[in-house]
Amino acid sequence: MVQADDVQALREPDDIAETRVAIDASHGCERLEQRVVRYAPGRSRERRLEGVQEVLFVVSGSGTLHIAGRAAAELAPFAGAFVAPGETYAVENAGPGDLVVVAVRAPADEGSVDDARRRDVVRYEEQPVLPATPNREFRYLVDEEAGCLEVTQFVGVIPPGKAGMHSHVYDEVVYVIEGEGVLHLDGRETPLRAGTCMHLPPLNEHCLENTGSAPMKVLGVFHPAGDPASRASGY
């Protein structure tokens, strides 16, 4: 687990994107790579996805997503976006402030995209609220309804308090969007706050506790796809 601001920022020449690799194989996460990207005003260099797919989440700022061969899609806070394997994309930030995005890459197999249901951008406010025990809720962003068959991206809302320990069968990376709390994992209690990035391996029992007075919002991305409310163990 790391705080995004504590990770060294990388910038390629002639690019507006400043990238921090928060979670990858060096952190024990073999399937997923989580990056926090800060786009200055302007248009980024194009990036092509080879053998991987990528889901994006806008933390702050606004701009435009350009995927080669299709009409541009508008980006705004709490929007999720999907870039399929083999596609080339660029992000344009009209400014004046920075555009901050959490990007997660995952492996891709043949048949990972349903072109008939494909959506480049999914807006949080347009998605239905779904229950997750106990007294928690979430909204899907990029999932099979957006044509992404192997990865699930969602925003979860955690009320003040602590749930029971539980585990999942999928590999997951989490980013704290708002709020503060504690991660209970492997017998340790680690403080959480906005900008915290973490990896939750399959079948590892854990709990996200909200120690604040307001709901905590988290971004979750997992592979293979499934239901955020499902549990391998615990209640």
pLDDT value at 164 more than 90: no
Q: What is the pLDDT of residue 235?
A: 32
pLDDT digits (tens, 9 = 90+) for 179-191: 999 999 988 999 9
Q: What is the mean pLDDT of residues 36-58?
A: 97
Q: Could you give the residue range(s) of every CATH 2.60.120.10 domain in the chain?
A: 2-113, 125-223
Check pLDDT > 50 for residue 141: yes
pLDDT attached to residue 56:
98
| In the predicted structure, residue 133 carries a pLDDT above the cut 90 | no
* Alpha carbons 203 and 224: distance in angstroms, whole number: 13
Helix (H, G, I), strand (E, B) or coil at 156: strand
For the ranges 12-26, 106-120, 218-232, the lowest mean pLDDT is seen at 218-232
Going by CATH, does the domain composed of 125-223 fall within 2.60.120.10? Answer: yes
| Mean pLDDT in residue range 134-147 | 94
Nearest CA to 93 out of 21, 43, 163 is that of 43
Burial class of 141 by CB neighbour count within 10 A (0 to 12, 13 to 18, 19+): buried
Report pTM: 0.95
Is pLDDT above 80 for 229? no
Which pLDDT belongs to residue 232?
Answer: 66
**What's the CATH class of domain 2-113?**
mainly beta
